[in-house]
Amino acid sequence: MPSTPRRSTKQRSIVLEIVARAKTHPTAEEVFTIARKKLPEISLATVYRNLHLLAEEGKIREVQFEGSTLRYDGMTMEHEHFCCRSCGVVEDLPVSLPAATVASIQSQLGAIIERYSLDYYGVCQRCKESAA
Amino acid sequence: MPSTPRRSTKQRSIVLEIVARAKTHPTAEEVFTIARKKLPEISLATVYRNLHLLAEEGKIREVQFEGSTLRYDGMTMEHEHFCCRSCGVVEDLPVSLPAATVASIQSQLGAIIERYSLDYYGVCQRCKESAA
DNA sequence: GTATGTGCAAAACGTTTGCAGAGAT
DNA sequence: ATCTCTGCAAACGTTTTGCACATAC
């Protein structure tokens, strides 16, 4: 299934670059604010359109944490997250869920498991220590 | 920390009852529609207010799946979910993530992990079979 | 009697869309 | 020349809020 041909625009590459470089899992609004510094005429609608497009192409990922709006993640490898409820920081984690666990659920359900999302919530080291 | 005293109202108990009995992880709008059948004068704002309140008290849970709006879950025990991308069904699953895995991440991060959310995505048995 | 809870309507919020013109191919 | 992409503004769906009245305590 050949998808519509995509053109390369300043707007699109800036959006990709921002998300890829960001370590903060930015929201669309945050990407927009950063993008404006490099390309003042860029519009929020364009940021949204490109975020979806890039996510569809697998070049970035959409992630959503409790109580937050949609965020974007430049880390495209499979991974998990930790969110601090005190300072809000989101840390990327390597895969911790054993493949055998996924396989076992899959066969128990008789379903196909294509992916999963695993988010840990709590208090990060820094906040834990400053609260002590 | 003594929280404000809570009053017991028809509206609140109906909202709780609906979510507790539901097996479908309903949205606020769905809870509202069902509630109207028993209490035609109930307002959507009241449904929202009570859903938040009950979630805060731990009597129900807020859950959010990819591409969906916030849903409510009457199952308060720790558990996980499977979502079918074809028919949209959400199945409750018992805990699959080994406690040792959580403990290991916690010590690696030096953080406190209070809870986690684990959602599996794929195609359920029924949809898998009807597609074959 | 007092303060919480409610219904209503309006506002807020994040996101999407229609459109006419700009720009990539 | 074509067809995608853009900026703008308006629309959208969901959720929250201000207010005056109702109701649980």
Domain boundaries, chain A: 1-76, 78-132
pLDDT of residue A31: 98
Which tens digits make up the pLDDT trace of B73-82? 999 999 999 9
Task: Read off the pLDDT band of A2 (50, 70, 90).
Answer: low
Contacts of B6 (CB under 8 A, 6+ apart): B53, B57
In the block, tokens 């590459």 appear at A13
Contact B58, B19 (CB under 8 A): no
Q: Is the CB of B45 under 7 A from strand D?
A: yes
Model confidence band, residue B39 (pLDDT cutoffs 50, 70, 90): very high
Q: Which residues of B touch A73 (CB under 8 A)?
A: none
Is pLDDT at B104 greater than 90 in this prediction? yes
- Whole-model pTM above 0.85? yes
- Name B residues 68-127 whose Cβ lies under 7 Å from strand D: 69-70
Separation of alpha carbons B95 and B106, rounded Å: 18
When pLDDT is averaged across residues A110-125 and rounded to a whole number, the result is 96
CATH, domain A1-76, list 2.60.40.650, 1.10.10.10, 3.40.640.10, 1.20.120.80: 1.10.10.10
**In Å, what is the separation between the CA of B29 and the C1' of C10?**
19
In 3D, which of A95, A18, A120, A117 has the Cα closest to residue A60? A18
Following CA atoms B86, B87, B88, B91 in sequence, which dihedral angle do they give, to the nearest 10 degrees?
Answer: -110
B64 touches chain A (CB under 8 A): yes
Token reading at A36: 């404006």
Mean pLDDT within A95-118: 96
Q: Number of helices (H) and strands (E), helices first, in chain B?
A: 5, 5
pLDDT, position B44: 98
Q: b/e map of A82-94 (b: 16 or more CB within 10 Å)?
A: bbbbeeeebbebe
* Residue A27 CA distance to nucleotide C13 C1' (Å): 14
Q: What percent of chain B has pLDDT over 70?
A: 97
Stated in angstroms, how far is A11 CA from D7 C1'? 12
Query: Three-state DSSP class for B2?
Result: coil
B105:A116 CB<8 A? no
Residues 6+ apart with CB under 8 A from A23: none
Q: Do A117 and B121 form a contact (C-beta atoms < 8 A)?
A: yes
Instruction: Please report the sign of the dihedral spanned by the C-alpha atoms of residue B18, residue A105, residue A62, residue A26.
Output: positive
**Token digits of residue B58:** 């731990």
Q: How many CB pairs under 8 A join A and B?
A: 104
40-59 of chain A touching strand D, CB 7 A cut-off: 41-46, 49-50
- Please state, in angstroms and rounded to a whole number, the distance separating the CA atoms of residues B25 and B63: 8
Amino acid at residue number B119: D
- Does the structural domain A78-132 have CATH classification 3.30.1490.190? yes
Antiparallel, parallel or unpaired: β B80-84 and B112-123: parallel
For residue B90, which of B122, B62, B116 has the smallest C-alpha distance?
A: B122
